[in-house]
Structure 1
Amino acid sequence: MPETDWRKVVMNLRNLATQPTAEQLRLARRLDLPVNEKTPRPVAAAILRRHLRGALELPTPDAATDGAIEYIEDLAEQTGSRAPSDIEDSEEADAWVEVFHARRAADSLDLLQPTPGDIVQVATKDGDRLGEVASISADGQLNFRGGYGYRARPHRVQMVARVTQPSVYKEAHYKARQHAAARITNPQMIGPGHLADLEQWQVSGDPSKAARLALIDALETAQDERPMQLVLERHPEILAYLVTGHGGAYVVPQVSFHKYVADFLVAGYTSAGIQWTLVELERPNAKLTINDGQAAKEVRKAQQQIADWRNWLTDNLDYARRSVRENGLGLAGIRPDARGLIIVGRGQMSDAPDALRQRIEREQRVVVRTYDWLVRQSGQSRGLPFGMLDRELPDAAEDEGW
């Protein structure tokens, strides 16, 4: 079982690396084997197995390789120990590796003196990461909060902030939680119990005729996106209709990402988990492209907004997913690379806007559609249990346009 007191782990590691068990010592004396009070436990076990191999019908191990011998010499140097001589086989070599690992771990824990809650910096192949110490394994490895398998050997970490250092601990602890959240490979695979914070935003049913007409009326006079925001807040089923949500669809308006505000976050829950869409509204009377076929100002602005939200989510992922009861945003399973949806402008499809739309979808995972497209989708029958946006093929050209 993992331990929370580093002193106990160090004591056990030092005992393993410096002396045999009493039973090993008694048996070695009876057999007149080269084991004494200073023979490390794993090495004593290897010597006993070698001499009892025939009687116990144990398989014969391979000879120790040159690479193994060199590794043992390196470990001995790292721990200030004398490298063993005359290693007879691979089992004894493995035993000495275990011994030097234990010595290195004990020395590192002695220097680090970690306690649960401390924040350390972990050196990884992808760069340095922060971890919150949860416990210490018997082999000296530190276990971190935030998912199974998140651990590191103590010689690879540095102390950043102790629980007893409130002046620096709060910020380091926050960052460590974000790093732990980013390690979760399938965050969307959540259970129904994680959806409690979203219940107030759950939407059922298809868009009614009244909802569609309200959307059309708002479009007739809207000079900016505010009227569209209001009508979609009153009729969230228009946005919920766009996503696949066999287990529930959720439309959350005006989500604050501190200095940023997302117009809507839309989530669909299915057996494959929860999938989020980040929705940015722009002016209905805005242009989609400029003369050279590049994105117009409003489209570029919306792209930057979604990029800003994604960057914020990357830096605050644990906070975004954490339950409201734990002072989080309650956006269970959200990912920094969630799909984006920009609704902007009006009109039919033409060659230049359509090429731009496909490029943005391909390169940025951001879908660009017009308000006229939204009106059309709200009046169509789904037919299949898929959201109207989800069932569109990325490379399909629709007769009605955006």
Structure 2
Amino acid sequence: MGRYEKFISELDNSKNEREIAKFLKENLILIRNTLNANAWNCVICKPEFKIGTKYIADFLILSANSGCWNVTLIEMQSHMDKIFLKDGTASKGLREAQKQVQEWEMWLDNHKSEFRESIADLAKGQAAYCSNAIRHTHAETELRDPKVVVYFYFKILIGRRNFLDEDTNQRRSKFGDIEVVTFDRLLDYAKYLDENA
């Protein structure tokens, strides 16, 4: 049984996001390669990443390219959650996830150096990727340098594609600076991996 069939089985038989999280932790490539911010160097995917002492992102993806580092923080809700209600307003699950992401953003605004320390620790031992090699040879020193650019991306993983019609799909794409992603994007990639194994 390939990843796609296993993932379909998990989606069909799991009651909540905790049960799905176990499968995704064992298959981090699905998160890493579908939700990354298009950077190709030093891609690190970490489940249950602490943001300070109060918050935990379900997944963090740290990646670099020649000009910057990217941090993608992912809040996961249930695959069974509706994304929008019939009247077009955000569902309870989506509102809860949005509130969580906004709390992360507020914390990050006030704790930039503390957060840089935590991602630098995560990248310890990796080569530097976006600065002049004379200044930095290791990712951890590069990430601690306040002159090195770090971009943040926020994503909510929730629901299924078939929960969306044309109107709500457009609404999903206009959800501010937070990208709303269905579990089907990961499922599509699982199928791709199986077909190209």
Length-normalised TM-score, structure 2: 0.74
CA offsets per residue over residues 231-284 of structure 1, 9 Å max, x none? 111111111112234322110111122111110011222213221111111011
Matched, 1:353 2:168: yes
Q: C-alpha separation between the residues in 1 aligned to 2:70 and 2:5?
A: 28
Q: C-alpha separation between the residues in 1 aligned to 2:149 and 2:182?
A: 25
Q: State the partner residue of 1:173.
A: none
Residue 379 of structure 1, CA deviation: 2.5
Q: C-alpha separation between the residues in 2 aligned to 1:273 and 1:213?
A: 37
Q: State the partner residue of 2:15.
A: 223
Alignment of 1:2-401 (within 5 A): 210-242=2-34, 243=36, 244-257=38-51, 258-322=53-117, 323-324=120-121, 332=143, 335=150, 338-348=152-162, 349-360=164-175, 363=176, 365-380=177-192
Q: C-alpha separation between the residues in 2 aligned to 1:225 and 1:359?
A: 24
Which stretches of structure 1, 4 residues or more, deviate above 6 A after TM superposition?
Answer: none
CA offsets per residue over residues 317-357 of structure 1, 9 Å max, x none? 111112449xxxx793685x611111111132412321221
Q: C-alpha separation between the residues in 2 aligned to 1:235 and 1:379?
A: 13
Residue 290 of structure 1, CA deviation: 1.1
Q: Which is bigger in relative contact order (C-alpha 8 A, separation at least 6)?
A: 2
Letter in 2 for 1:220: D
Residue 210 of structure 1, CA deviation: 3.6
Q: Percent identity?
A: 22
Unaligned runs of 5+ in 2: 123-139
> CA 1:274/1:377 → structure 2, altered by over 3 Å: closer, same or farther?
same
Does the Cα contact within 8 Å between 2:156 and 2:181 map onto a contact in 1?
yes
Letter in 1 for 2:84: T
How many residues in Structure 1 have an aligned counterpart in Structure 2?
A: 165
Q: C-alpha separation between the residues in 2 aligned to 1:218 and 1:246?
A: 29
Residue 378 of structure 1, CA deviation: 3.1
Letter in 2 for 1:338: F
Does the Cα contact within 8 Å between 1:255 and 1:264 map onto a contact in 2?
yes
Does the Cα contact within 8 Å between 1:320 and 1:334 map onto a contact in 2?
no
Q: State the partner residue of 2:131.
A: none
Residue 287 of structure 1, CA deviation: 0.7
Residue 373 of structure 1, CA deviation: 2.5
> CA 1:245/1:357 → structure 2, altered by over 3 Å: closer, same or farther?
same
Length-normalised TM-score, structure 1: 0.38
> CA 1:269/1:324 → structure 2, altered by over 3 Å: closer, same or farther?
closer
Unaligned runs of 5+ in 1: 1-208, 382-402
> CA 1:241/1:324 → structure 2, altered by over 3 Å: closer, same or farther?
closer
> CA 1:301/1:319 → structure 2, altered by over 3 Å: closer, same or farther?
same
Q: Between Structure 1 and Structure 2, which shows a larger proportion of strand residues?
A: 2
SS in 1 for 2:70: strand
> CA 1:227/1:313 → structure 2, altered by over 3 Å: closer, same or farther?
same
Does the Cα contact within 8 Å between 2:68 and 2:149 map onto a contact in 1?
no
Which one has the largest radius of gyration?
1
SS in 1 for 2:161: coil
Letter in 2 for 1:276: V
Q: C-alpha separation between the residues in 1 aligned to 2:121 and 2:108?
A: 16
Does the Cα contact within 8 Å between 1:238 and 1:378 map onto a contact in 2?
yes
> CA 1:233/1:217 → structure 2, altered by over 3 Å: closer, same or farther?
same
What is the root-mean-square deviation of aligned Cα atoms in Å? 2.4
Letter in 2 for 1:267: L
> CA 1:293/1:251 → structure 2, altered by over 3 Å: closer, same or farther?
same
Residue 298 of structure 1, CA deviation: 0.4
